[in-house]
């Protein structure tokens, strides 16, 4: 009888240990709540009464008007980046990507998808030291010390502010009025 009770206890302890391991309670791994919530909100997209290449051209002009450097400019994709330095030892980099897709069969209505990613960097100071050995003098070493500074990425976040995207889409719409006469398949460089 004692053998069966001990076997059951061992089996139960093993099952509890496995459950704890599967939920990361034994390993110390930090778990985070689910960050993504899919919904029908229009934070990241808008419909435009224009062809995709016109929408992307308007997006390119909108980014240029705000000081962004354009990394990619195609008829269906525009990507721009801009750097900010809010403090002496902090640096932010914003990358905005606009994808333009046809939404109607005739291609005269497009859907613009916009995503903004902000990376944060901090200045990291480190001291490096080295020694110089001189063979003729034996084991004499002279220490040299130097410091080096480098920017280290400390965070990255997708901007989720409705007001941010509303402002971008409003600016894009203003530039869309100037590219209305752009012929199909043409994009300014």
Domain layout of the chain by residue ranges: 41-134+141-176
The more confidently predicted of residues 145 and 176 is 176
Go through 7-33 and write b for each residue having 16 or more CB atoms within 10 A of its CB, e for each that does not. eeeeeeeeeeeeeeeeeeeeeeeeeee
**CA distance linking residue 70 with residue 40, whole number of Å:** 30
pLDDT at site 89: 87
What's the pLDDT band for 135 if we cut at 50, 70, 90? low
Strand partners, 69: 81
What's the pLDDT band for 123 if we cut at 50, 70, 90? confident
pLDDT at site 166: 94
pLDDT above 80: residue 113: yes
Q: How far is CA 55 from the centre of its chain?
A: 23
pLDDT above 90: residue 77: yes
How buried is residue 96: exposed, middle or buried, by Cβ count under 10 Å (0-12/13-18/19+)? buried
- Give the predicted TM-score (pTM) of the model: 0.68
Which superfamily does 41-134+141-176 belong to? Answer: Kinase associated domain 1, KA1 (3.30.310.80)
């Amino acid at each position: 009888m004692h053998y069966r009770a001990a076997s059951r206890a061992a089996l139960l302890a093993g099952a509890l240990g496995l459950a704890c391991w599967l939920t990361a309670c034994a390993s110390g791994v930090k778990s985070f709540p689910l960050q993504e919530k899919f919904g029908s909100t229009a934070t990241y997209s808008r419909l435009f009464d224009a062809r995709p290449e016109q929408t992307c051209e308007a997006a390119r002009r909108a980014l240029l008007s705000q000081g962004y450097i354009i990394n990619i400019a195609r008829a269906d994709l525009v990507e721009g980046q801009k750097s900010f330095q809010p403090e002496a030892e902090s640096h932010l980099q914003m990358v905005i990507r606009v994808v333009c897709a046809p939404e109607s069969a005739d291609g005269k209505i497009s859907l613009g998808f916009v995503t903004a990613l902000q990376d944060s960097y901090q200045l990291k100071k480190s001291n490096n030291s080295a020694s110089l050995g001189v063979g003729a003098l034996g084991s004499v070493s002279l220490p040299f010390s130097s410091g080096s500074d480098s920017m280290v990425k400390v965070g990255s976040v997708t901007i989720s502010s409705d007001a941010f995207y509303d402002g971008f889409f409003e600016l894009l719409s203003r530039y869309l009025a100037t590219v209305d006469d752009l012929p199909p398949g043409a994009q300014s460089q």
